[in-house]
Amino acid sequence: MAGKRKAKRTTPPEDLSKPSRWRLQHGGFDEGVRGTDPDTGTPILHRRAIDSLGVLLANGSITREMHEAGVIFRGVFQRAALDRVRVMPMIRIPGGTADLLSESQAVARERVARAMRHLGGFASPAGSIAWYVLGLEHSVRDWALRQGWNGRAVNPAQAQGILLGALGMLGAHYGLTRPASVAFGAPAPASAGGGAAKSAQA
């Protein structure tokens, strides 16, 4: 007796009216505003990506200095071209310049490296969440459940606390907030002619 054929599993088609699962890993979206396409008159839904830093600032979880520190790190990270996924060619062209960095990219990468060292390195919780959430713009929840720290998932609430700590450390690194030693009355280290304004650009 011939065996019965197993029914093939069919994957339901993706709803194109909603952001893809891949896009949602980089943060959520608002409910959207309905409108009309000016060319065709077709009803459309405008969705706006939710900025994690903006949400934290709006609900009072972080200060303006912490928000600015996150924006600075993100901007430097993007200028360093660390967020681009590149496919290496099978055959390398002699004399090609595809792998060469521009001067601005090299400087930006050094700035990212200094900030990461201040956070304790890539293997630290603060360094890891800064790289993935601030730099690569993954959501805090995605970092907590997928990346986490030390090979283990982290509770999303704890992950947000780690992010707040990282933003506070970046604020001190960029000269936007006072270091803890100064806040507790210790003398401030002498800065070479520039102060906080120049430190924010480091």
- What span, in angstroms and rounded, lies between the C-alpha atoms of 56 and 4? 56
How much is the pLDDT for 187? 52
How much is the pLDDT for 89? 46
How much is the pLDDT for 116? 97
Nearest CA to 140 among 130, 46, 150?
130
| pLDDT, one tens digit for every residue, the chain (202 residues) | 555 666 666 666 655 555 555 444 445 544 555 666 666 767 765 555 567 898 899 899 999 999 999 999 999 999 998 876 444 444 444 554 445 778 999 999 999 999 999 999 998 999 999 999 999 988 898 899 887 777 788 899 999 999 999 999 999 999 998 765 444 444 544 444 444 444 455 5
Q: What is the number of other CB atoms lying within 10 angstroms of the CB of residue 170? A: 25
How much is the pLDDT for 90? 41
